Amino acid sequence: MGKGNAAKKNTRPILAILGAAKEDPPPNIETVMGNAEVRFAPDGETLKSILPGVEALFIWDFRASELRDAWSFADELRWVHVAGAGVDAALFPELVESGVVVTNSRGVFDRSIAEYVVGTMLVFEKDLLRTLTLQRRKEWRHRESGMLSGKTLLVVGAGPIGRMISTLAKNLGMKPSAVARTAKPEDPDFERVFAHEELDAALPHADYVVIAAPLTDETRDMFGAEQFGRMKSEARLINIGRGKIVDEAALTAALREKKISGAALDVFREEPLPPESPLWEMDEVIISPHMSGDFVGWTNALGELIAENFRRWSEGEELFNIVDKERGYGRSAPSSLRSGESGAVSPRDASGVGKRDDG
């Protein structure tokens, strides 16, 4: 099953939404509400009570990790959609080993995240952090600033977000390369694509290093003291991927010791970032609360994607944004959400789920 489980039934499918209340459902899912029995779980405890019989689950509002605690209550689950691009919190072993299809919201946030990255690079290059500090002091201090044109950019992660970052960077005259699972001698979006194992060799040449990779076994703790030691002393790190890709203690030390010049961080190992973290107090660090992709209207775009995938699931069509559960990330996004070809792919068989398959 997996591509049309609901189509085989005469009754309406049962769906659940984790992280939303009946009084405040996600926008643009009217067609879902009208064609399915929808149960709402504002929190993980409520999910346990409503999950039996549920065939599809939409995870809203960063609550993917709560599914694991409720997993033993899933007896009919066939499809899980995560309202975000990253799905690492949802990929616990029982779900990965089951036949449940997982989809994500890849494509919705690409442009917004890429603009955030360009914005932080401009803040660094134009010395705007110092300008704002001097403004608050009412201190007039003329100085020169840099230009992004001609700077080298290394994007760790060559998915749609990384490619959008490259596109915007090239428009500003930057020279982008990437690190991906495998090397590519030619790529339309990057001057060069390095393999993961070539990261250390690529780092010394980059003025800006942007982490745009998902959290997987390959990327976890990918950046530590050794990597920061290989970067240019004038280089900056930007992380919009996952916090656990970076050793924050090593990053803090590298900033203090001037091994790198700055960092813009939207994701952290622990969120919210604890008040005692020294990163809060560092002059050349930009901290944002995991919001780089959240543009005005993003919930509407997510609702549209969920509604379209529900229609496809109900009518037995191929789903958008199937996640490779072994690798930990999705393959492509709908063409309506990004430039390029359609992201429809054949879902895997979803004939078994939850406690019925764990044995």
pLDDT tens digits for range 38-82:
999 999 999 999 999 999 999 997 788 999 999 999 999 999 999
- CATH number, domain with residue 135: 3.40.50.720
Q: Give me the domain span that covers residue 205.
A: 110-287
Residue-wise pLDDT for 205-240, tens only, equals: 999 999 999 999 999 999 999 999 999 999 999 999
Which of 19-23, 168-172, 348-352 is the least confident region?
A: 348-352
Answer yes or no: is 307 within a domain.
yes
pLDDT above 50: residue 358 = no
User: Which secondary-structure segment (H or E) carries 283?
Assistant: none
pLDDT above 80: residue 347 = no
Asked whether 242 and 86 are in contact (CB, 8 A), the reply is: yes
Before 334, cis peptide (omega within 30)? no
CA distance 87 to 168: 25
- C-alpha closest to that of 166 among 107, 122, 210: 210
Q: What is the pLDDT of residue 4?
A: 47
The structure tokens listed for 98 are: 């089951």
Does 175 lie in the same domain as 101? no
CA distance 99 to 357: 8
Percent of the chain with pLDDT over 70: 89
- C-alpha closest to that of 337 among 84, 111, 134: 111
Overall average pLDDT of the 185-194 stretch: 96
In whole angstroms, what separates CA 107 from the centre of its chain?
Answer: 10
Does 157 lie in the same domain as 124? yes
CA distance 173 to 58: 41
Q: What is the pLDDT of residue 331?
A: 60
Does 330 lie in the same domain as 243? no
* Domain end position, chosen among 239, 270, 287: 287
More confident residue, 252 or 6: 252
Does 37 lie in the same domain as 47? yes
Q: What is the pLDDT of residue 346?
A: 32
Does 120 lie in the same domain as 99? no
Does 127 lie in the same domain as 103? no
Region label for 115, one of left (φ > 0), alpha (ψ between -120 and 50) or beta (otherwise): alpha
Does 93 lie in the same domain as 49? yes
Does 324 lie in the same domain as 266? no
Q: What is the pLDDT of residue 330?
A: 73
- Domains in the chain, number: 2
Q: What is the pLDDT of residue 340?
A: 30
Does 221 lie in the same domain as 90? no
Answer yes or no: is 1 within a domain.
no
What average pLDDT is seen over the chain?
Answer: 90
pLDDT above 90: residue 338 = no
The structure tokens listed for 155 are: 């994007």
Q: What is the pLDDT of residue 333?
A: 52
* Domain end position, chosen among 256, 287, 318: 287
Overall average pLDDT of the 94-112 stretch: 96
Would you list the DSSP string of 177-233? EEEESS-BS--SS-S-EEEGGGHHHHGGG-SEEEE-----TTTTT-BSHHHHHHS-T
Alpha helices in the chain (DSSP H): 30-35, 44-50, 66-70, 93-97, 110-125, 128-137, 160-171, 199-202, 225-230, 248-256, 298-314
Provide the annotated active-site residues. 242, 271, 290
Q: What is the pLDDT of residue 11?
A: 84
Does 344 lie in the same domain as 248? no
* Domain end position, chosen among 270, 287, 304: 287
Does 283 lie in the same domain as 300? no
Residue-wise pLDDT for 110-133, tens only, equals: 999 999 999 999 999 999 999 999
Answer yes or no: is 335 within a domain.
yes
Q: What is the pLDDT of residue 241?
A: 97
Does 49 lie in the same domain as 23? yes
- The amino acid occupying position 296 is V
